[in-house]
Structure 1
C-alpha cells in the first residue's frame, strides 16, 4: 500500500513536460492584466468626453478595476486552491475577455464602470491562479528562478507597453480598442492553457471563509467610496462619515472573524509578522502616492500641455526606464548584500524627491527641465524599493501560507491604488474649485477665464502631489522602523538551521 502511495506521489511531483509552453500562455495572461492597469489611463480623457463622465466620477474608471481586483484577490487565491488552478485560470481569462468586450461596447457611464469592475473581479481569479501554477509546475530551483524572472520582467514591462499601446489605439483608432485589444490576448491564453497545462496535484479541501470574503470586500468598498464621496459632498457630509465608520467596523469584524475561524481567508500570522507587515504597509502607501500621480500627469500632459495620447504614452517612458534600472541595476545587485530597509527606505525618499520636483509644476513648465528628471527619480526610487520588498514579503513564510502572502502583496498594491486615486483626486478637485472661486472674478474675458481654469487645474494637481510627497516620506519611515530583517543571505542561512526540508522547497514568489 505504501509503495502505491509513493508511486502516486512521485508521479504528482514529476515536472510537467509542457511547463515551458505553459509559461508562454501564463505570461501572456499576466501581460494582459498589467497592460490593462495603464492602457485605460491614456484613453480616459477621450472616454470621459465621449460618455459624458463627470470629473468627480472619472477616477471610478480606474478605481472600480483596482478595488474589485484588490478586494477579491484573497478570495481568488482560495478559489484556485479549492476549485483547481487550471480551471480558475481559464475561467478568469474567459470572464476577462467578456468584461473587456462589454467595456468596449459601453454606451454610458454605468456600463463602462460595471465592465471595469467585472474586469477586476476576473483578474482577481486569474492572477493568483497564474502564480500558483508557476509555483507548482517549476519545482527545480534554477528553473523556478528563470520562470519567475521571465514572469517578473513581463510584469514590469507591461506598464510601458500599456502606456504606448493605449496612446496608439486612442489616437489612431478609438478609445474603445483599449478594451477590445484584451480579447485576442485572453482567447489565445485560455486556449493554450486549456490544451497545454496539466492540472497540478494538491487541492485545499478546507471550507471557504464566506464571512471573511464578504466583510473584507464590503469594508474596502465602503472605504474607497467614502473618499470618492468626500470630493462632491465634503468631508463633513453625514453619509461620507457613515461610510468611513462602516468601513472601520467591517474591517475590524473581518480581523475578528479571521482570528476565530479554522480556515481563514487571511491567516493573521501572515500580516502580524513585523517584516511582512512593514512591507505590506509601506508598499501600499507608496502605491497610493504613485497611482494618483499617474492620473494627474495624464491629464496635465493631455489637457494642459496639449499632448496627443501617443505623445503622452511616450512621455511616461523615463519613469518606466527608471523603474527597470532601479530594479535590475540597483535593487537586484544589492538586495543580497544589504538589509531590505536600507534599500526600501532610501528608495522611497528618492521617489519623494522626484515627487517634490513636480510640486513646482506650472502651465508653461518644460518637460525636459522638470518632468523628465522628476520621472527618472520616481522610477529609480520605486524600482530600488520594490525589488527587496517583493522578496521580503514572501521570505521565510510557512508553506501553507506562501500563496496568501503572495496575494497580500498584490492586494496592498491594488487597494493602495484604489485609495490613492480616490483620495488624491478628491484633494486636487477641492483645491481646483477653491482656486477658481478666488480668481474667476478678476477674469473678464473668455481667454482670461480659460487661463484661470487651467491654472486652477495645475494648482489642484500640485496640492495633491504635496500630499503624495508626505505619504512617500511616511512609507520610508515605516520601512526604516518596522523592517528589521538582515540581508536575504543571512536570513536564509539562519532559516536553514531551523527550517525543515519541506520549508526550503517553498518557492519565493515575487510579483
Structure 2
C-alpha cells in the first residue's frame, strides 16, 4: 500500500488541474452575467488558459530537468494557488484572465510535465500502466465532479468558492509531499533556451489567436477585423505568421543541437514513431473534448435555459463513464493492444458525436441526450486509459521530462484550438444560417433583413433568444410580426450552428484514426524506448 501513497499526491494534483476548467465551462452564462460581458469574452479566457499551458509546457519540462522534477512540481503548485486566490476575488474579466488564464496556466505548465515524469520515475511495468490509468481516471473524476460541484456552487452560492477551495487543496497536497520520493538528480544541469521559449510561445499564441478571432474577423473576406491585409481578413496571414515562427523555432533548435547546446526540446524525439502517434492522438482527443465541452454547455444553458447546476447534472453521464473507462486501462490491456483500444475508443466517439447531432434540437430529449453523453464518456475514457502511458513508456528515463512537456503541450494545444476552432465554427455557422433564413423569410421586409445583415457583419453573439426578442422590441421601427420571425430564424440558426460544431468534432475524431498506426500493437504492453524507432515499431 505504501507504494501507492505517491499516486495519491500526484493523482490529486491531476484532479486539481482539470477541476476548474470544467467549472468554467458550466459557469459560462453566470460569468457573462457577473462580468457584464459576452460569451466570446469568456471563450477567450478559457482559450487563453489552455494556450498559456500549451505555450509553456516545454519550458516547464526543461525546468524540471534543470532544478529537479519534485522541486518544480512544488513551485508550480504554489504559483497555481496564487492564481486560484486571485481568480476567487477577480472584480473584472481582465483580472479573471490574469489570475486564471495566465498565473494558473503558468503554474499548471510547471506541475504537469513534472507530474508525468514523477509517475514514470516512481512506477515500472504493470504498476506504471495502473498508475497512468488512475491518473487518467482522476482527470476523468475532475471532469465528473467539476460540472456538478461547480454547477451547484455557481447556482446556489458563487463560482468563486471553487477557486478558494483550490487554494486549500493545494495546501493539503503540499503537506503530503513527503510521500513523493526524491528523484535521482540529473547528471548535469542543462541551460534554458530562452530564444526557443520566445519562438515557440509566440508561434503557438499567434496561431490560436487567429483561430479564436476567425469568427469575427472572417477567414478570407473581412467581417469586422481591426485591420485588413491587401483587402483580405488577417486570419490566414496570422496563421501563416504563427507557422513561420514555429518553423523558425525548429531551425533554432536544430542549430543549438548542432552546436552541442541544450535545446528547449530535442527534435530527435520526433524520430520516435510511437511518441509521435501518441502525441497526435492526444492532440486530437483534447481538440474534440474541449470543443464539445464548450459547445454542449451553451446548448444546455443558452438554448435550453438550464442553470449551471442543471447543466452539471446533464453532463454527469459523460463524467461517470469517462471515469470508469479511464480506470479500466490495465484491464483492457489483458484483452487488446493499446492501438486496438485507442481505435475502438475513436470509433465510439464518432458514434457518440453522430448521436449527439441527432439529439440536439429545440426541445431537450433527456434520455437520448444522456445516452449520447454516456457513450461519449466511454470513448474518451478508453483514450485516456492508454495514451499517457504510451507516451511515457516510449522514451528513456532521461527523456521523460521532455516527453511530459510534449505530452501536455499536445493536450493543451488541442484544448485551446478545440475551444477556439469549434467556437469559431459555431459562430460562423450561426451567422451564415441566420442571414440566409432572414433573407429568405417572406415575413421579413427587405429593410429589416438588411438591418439584420449589417448587425451580423458587425459581429454576432450566441445569446438566449429572449435577449434577441428584447433588443428587437426596443426598436419601434420593427413590427412585432417581423420581430417574431427574426427571433424564430435566430433560434433555428442556433441549432444549425451547434450541429455544425459537433459535426466538425466528428470529422476531427474520424481523422484521428489515421494517426494511430504507430501505436503499440502488442496486447498487454506498451512500446518501450527500444522498440519505438525503426521498422519494427508497428508491431
For the aligned pair, the TM-score class normalised by the smaller chain equals 0.7 to 0.9
Q: CA deviation at 1:58?
A: 2.4
Partner of 2:204: 220
Partner of 1:363: 362
Distance 1:148 1:55, change over 3 A: closer
CA distance in 1, matches of 2:131, 2:333: 20
Answering whether residue 76 of structure 2 is matched by residue 74 of structure 1, we say no
Q: Deviations over 1:298-347 (max 9, x none)?
A: 11112222222112112112112332343344x53343553333222232
CA distance in 1, matches of 2:529, 2:97: 49
CA distance in 1, matches of 2:134, 2:327: 13
Partner of 1:344: 342
1:487 to 522, 534, 539: 522
Moved more, 388-397 or 74-83: 388-397
Whether the aligned pair in 1 keeps the contact of 2:283 and 2:410 (CA below 8 Å) is yes
Secondary structure (helix, strand or coil) at the match of 1:475 reads: helix
Partner of 2:236: 241
Q: CA deviation at 1:449?
A: 4.2
CA distance in 1, matches of 2:528, 2:70: 35
Give the TM-score normalised by the residue count of structure 2: 0.81
1:52 to 17, 36, 59: 36
Q: CA deviation at 1:489?
A: 4.9
Q: Deviations over 1:425-460 (max 9, x none)?
A: 111101112222233464626555444333322221
Distance 1:465 1:128, change over 3 A: same
Whether the aligned pair in 2 keeps the contact of 1:356 and 1:466 (CA below 8 Å) is yes
2:500 to 439, 442, 463: 463
Distance 1:462 1:45, change over 3 A: same
Answering whether residue 166 of structure 2 is matched by residue 182 of structure 1, we say yes
CA distance in 2, matches of 1:77, 1:402: 9
Count of residues in Structure 1 that have an aligned counterpart in Structure 2: 475
Q: CA deviation at 1:120?
A: 0.8
CA distance in 1, matches of 2:336, 2:126: 23
Partner of 1:259: 254
Partner of 1:232: 216
Secondary structure (helix, strand or coil) at the match of 2:163 reads: helix
Secondary structure (helix, strand or coil) at the match of 1:359 reads: helix
Q: Deviations over 1:197-237 (max 9, x none)?
A: 56544035011122221111111100100101211111125
Partner of 1:453: 490
CA distance in 2, matches of 1:348, 1:439: 35
Q: Unpaired runs of 5+ in structure 2?
A: 223-228, 445-480, 534-539
2:390 to 376, 389, 392: 392
Whether the aligned pair in 1 keeps the contact of 2:55 and 2:201 (CA below 8 Å) is yes
Distance 1:241 1:335, change over 3 A: same
2:185 to 185, 194, 202: 202
Secondary structure (helix, strand or coil) at the match of 2:237 reads: helix
Q: CA deviation at 1:391?
A: 2.6
CA distance in 1, matches of 2:515, 2:119: 32
Distance 1:337 1:403, change over 3 A: farther
Partner of 1:436: 434
Distance 1:39 1:86, change over 3 A: same
Whether the aligned pair in 1 keeps the contact of 2:65 and 2:190 (CA below 8 Å) is no
CA distance in 2, matches of 1:142, 1:351: 27
Distance 1:144 1:447, change over 3 A: same
Give the TM-score normalised by the residue count of structure 1: 0.85
The 5 Å alignment of 1:64-463 reads 64-115=48-99, 116-136=101-121, 138=122, 148=132, 150-193=134-177, 199-203=182-186, 204-236=188-220, 237=222, 238=229, 239-261=234-256, 262-329=261-328, 331-360=329-358, 361-369=360-368, 371-440=369-438, 442=443, 444=481, 448-463=485-500
Secondary structure (helix, strand or coil) at the match of 2:78 reads: helix
Q: Deviations over 1:107-128 (max 9, x none)?
A: 2222212222221111111222
Partner of 2:22: 38
CA distance in 2, matches of 1:254, 1:198: 35
Q: Deviations over 1:3-44 (max 9, x none)?
A: xxxxxxxxxxxxxx9976555444332221121221111112
CA distance in 1, matches of 2:179, 2:387: 33
Q: Deviations over 1:373-406 (max 9, x none)?
A: 2212222222223323333222341222122223
Whether the aligned pair in 2 keeps the contact of 1:346 and 1:476 (CA below 8 Å) is no
Whether the aligned pair in 1 keeps the contact of 2:130 and 2:330 (CA below 8 Å) is no
Q: CA deviation at 1:288?
A: 1.1
Q: Deviations over 1:74-125 (max 9, x none)?
A: 1111112212333322222221121112222222222212222221111111
